[in-house]
Amino acid sequence: MKTNKTISQRGVAIIIVIAHVLFFSAEAVSQQQDWLSYYPSVSRLQGKLIKVAKYGKPTYGENPEKDEKVEVPILILQTPVRVKARLTSSVNNESMTNISFVQLSFPAGDYSKHIDTDIVVAGTLVRGHKGEHFTDVVMTVKAVNPTGKPLP
């Protein structure tokens, strides 16, 4: 009798462990973001815009006394994202996951009024690969609006 009771207790314990594993792994999968795409696709990101001081040309910090100082707009994302590789691209051929910071490039104007605010941006993504890229993923911004207002 003692053996049967021990076996049934172990069986219940194993079932409980399996149930927990299945429950928590299903929950983790349901929280994953869809994959974003690199250029030419347009993506939307939401987060807080900050400025970070960095060393620029010519050596990007290897020789700080000779490098220019630049202020880099960085979007701190509300939720980390992932970007799918474009296998046909020589630059954007690496998938990136758990991206929490994205450098923004504003070719169309001044962004200073959005510093330290939550914003939504729409634009194209590239993998950071140049000296002036300070994050793994960089967005060229096409539109920016404060959080809560619809993008055009």
Q: What is the pLDDT of residue 31?
A: 40
Phi, psi of 37, deg, nearest 5:
-120, 150
Q: Which CATH architecture has domain 35-146?
A: Beta Barrel (2.40)
Q: In sequence order, what E strands does the chain have?
A: 35-37, 42-55, 69-84, 96-105, 118-127, 137-146
Name the pTM for this structure.
0.73
Tally of CB atoms within 10 A around 32: 10
Q: Element (H or E) spanning 19, and its range? A: helix 2-31
Contact 81, 138 (CB under 8 A): no
152 residues of the chain, pLDDT tens digit each: 555 555 566 666 566 656 555 555 444 443 456 899 999 999 999 999 999 989 888 888 888 888 899 899 999 999 999 999 999 999 999 999 999 999 999 987 788 999 999 999 999 999 998 878 899 999 999 988 855 555 55
Q: Measuring CA to CA, how many Å separate 49 from each of 58, 64, 76, 114, 115?
A: 26, 25, 6, 7, 5
Contact 75, 45 (CB under 8 A): yes
Residues composing the chain: 152
